[in-house]
Chains A and B, each alone.
Chain A
Amino acid sequence: QEAAKYEKKVMVLDFVTPTPLGNSWGLGGTCVNVGCIPKKLMHQAALLGQALQDSRKFGWEFAEEVKHNWMTMTESVQNYIGSLNWGYRVALREKKVTYENAYGEFVGPHTVKATNKRGVEKLYTAERFLIATGERPRYLGIPGDKEYCISSDDLFSLPYCPGKTLVVGASYVALECAGFLAGLGLDVTVMVRSILLRGFDQDMANKIGEYMEEHGINFIREFVPIKVEQIEEGTPGRLKVTAKSTKGNQIIEGEYNTVLLAIGRDACTRNIGLDKVGVMINEKTGKIPVNDEEQTNVPYIYAVGDILQDKLELTPVAIQAGRLLVRRLYGDATSKCDYVNVPTTVFTPLEYGACGYSEEAAVEKFGEENIEVYHSYFWPLEWTVPSRDNNKCYAKIICNIQDNERVIGFHVLGPNAGEVTQGFAAAIKCGMTKEQLSSTIGIHPVCAEV
């Protein structure tokens, strides 16, 4: 859309290869269809369930037991996503961007072949190309994985309640899904190979895990599934999962209605003909290395988003990188995308917002003696009356002593962590120091005042 503003002739090729179970979706990419949007809505559904329980302590009286209907929630979520898909179609049309629902792949210099779902092929040439193909969930490579397991690509439009679920993985996708499924009243177990939330501050990751465990989610640690078999067909059916310990020869078995794989995502760069135009990719990870102007080793081909090597896999980052790239190419802008101090939030039952360095990364970069960590537990006022946990919410900032105690890391665990973190991210970008933070008067009574 940005390029069209500069009167360039633009075409978008978007195609979703169906999941092993045949699932597909409309225009908008992962975030809109099978990522952030449905995830946050379902997380909200779970939070509302908790709120209903809390409400009795605040005086609301209702006699009936409160139950959750998976189909009602899923239909509403999918309807909203449908309106977004449609909105994008209208927006592209209005801005005169040509859209084709076809699979694009390079066949030669400056040339792509687009194949639609009926197999009809067309060739297109262009001056420049932007690759933003993103990633798809990884499968385990064990017997029964593609036939019986689902991934996040299938979960948000599942036409039946998943029932007793085993979530395999300890990524934020795994924990967020496990979190809201449990919040909706389902029996959830998480099978973890080693640590939780690799790449995130481990102190915070462990607190998240502890909270989830104390709130009814089972964790099986240091095991990996080796086989998935179907005991009974159905919606949902019954599956038997056999798993082996990572530390010895112990084998365990379990029965679940649904097995959700969330062990990682792989870049969609292997089958788009990059070799035909000489674009270098990291053979091991499939990611594309680019310079700080998002350009690949082939000057007329650019890339943004999750497929980039060593960059954050976040929707707003991809959007910002894309917009700035176009402004540099066709406008007079020179600003590059700032990949440092990008705030993120993990929407686990106890939300976690972060910006900047984790404690481990700060220690590694600056040395333990040069950083100072300030932290505090807090008890949200809203949790007092319903007697919810008083020692779980937590915030910490990491400061660089050598640089005026500049705040280089911000971490908060508590309700609305995302909202809280956004403001602090702007402050960190401005180079806020601990003193400036301390001298900012807090809003009372809110969690963020801590």
Chain B
Amino acid sequence: MGWEEKQVRGFPEFVQTAQRYHGRPIFALFCGDKDAEGRSWCPDCVTAEPVVRKELHNMPEESVFIYCLVGDRAYWKDPNNEFRKNLKLTGVPTLLKYGTPQKLVEEECFKADLVRMLFTED
């Protein structure tokens, strides 16, 4: 397999985890929080998650996949939330390669071949 997944919630936990794996390829998927039944308030995230998970095996060896819940809907809508301010996220779901300008936003995450391209690009 050669890769591992870390699940985090909120900005500080995300940053801590990303820093811990500095030096390895890090991919992150940002989604809205899930309720008690495991359903996200963000319908696009619900669509994107299985598409992304199916492509994870294409990540390079030693990769770290961080699955990050950003917060509830109200937190996300705040234009000054930490993800918007510090990571420049503009929407959820966002799938990105940490430390590079490579990312896929919203409907782009539904497309398996784009996800695969992000995971396998040099």
Residues of A participating in the B interface, judged by any CB pair closer than 8 Å: 79-80, 82-83, 86, 89-90, 93-94, 101
- Shortest B87–chain A CB gap in Å is 13
Q: Tell me if B121 counts as interface (CB < 8 A to partner A).
A: yes
A89 contacts B121, C-beta separation under 8 Å? yes
A93 contacts B113, C-beta separation under 8 Å? yes
- Which listed residue, B101, B104, B111, B113, touches A82 by the CB 8 Å rule? B101
Q: Tell me if B114 counts as interface (CB < 8 A to partner A).
A: yes
A79: chain B residues within 8 A (beta carbon): 101
- Shortest B18–chain A CB gap in Å is 17
A82 contacts B100, C-beta separation under 8 Å? yes
B114 contacts A83, C-beta separation under 8 Å? no
Report how far A83 CA is from B99 CA in the complex, Å: 12
Chain B CB within 10 Å, residue with most, of A79, A86, A93: A86
B102: chain A residues within 8 A (beta carbon): 82, 86
- Which listed residue, A80, A93, A101, touches B114 by the CB 8 Å rule? A93
- Shortest A91–chain B CB gap in Å is 11
Q: For residue B117, which residue of chain A has the nearest CB?
A: A93
A80: chain B residues within 8 A (beta carbon): 101
A90 contacts B101, C-beta separation under 8 Å? no
- Shortest B28–chain A CB gap in Å is 16
- Shortest A252–chain B CB gap in Å is 45
Q: Tell me if B44 counts as interface (CB < 8 A to partner A).
A: no
24 A-B interface contacts by CB (under 8 A)? A79-B101, A80-B101, A82-B100, A82-B101, A82-B102, A83-B101, A86-B100, A86-B101, A86-B102, A86-B103, A86-B121, A89-B117, A89-B121, A90-B104, A90-B108, A90-B114, A90-B117, A93-B111, A93-B113, A93-B114, A93-B117, A94-B111, A94-B114, A101-B122
- The size of the chain B interface, using a CB distance under 8 A, is 12
Other A-B pairs beyond A82-B102, A89-B117, A94-B111, 9, CB < 8 Å: A79-B101, A80-B101, A82-B100, A93-B111, A93-B113, A93-B114, A93-B117, A94-B114, A101-B122
A101: chain B residues within 8 A (beta carbon): 122
Report how far A90 CA is from B100 CA in the complex, Å: 15
Q: For residue A78, which residue of chain B has the nearest CB?
A: B101
- Shortest B80–chain A CB gap in Å is 22
Q: For residue A101, which residue of chain B has the nearest CB?
A: B122
> Interface digits, B86-111 against A, CB 8 Å rule (1 contact, 0 not)?
00000000000000111110001001
- Shortest A228–chain B CB gap in Å is 33
Report how far A19 CA is from B15 CA in the complex, Å: 37
Top 4 nearest A-B pairs by Cβ distance? A83-B101, A82-B101, A86-B102, A86-B101
A82: chain B residues within 8 A (beta carbon): 100-102
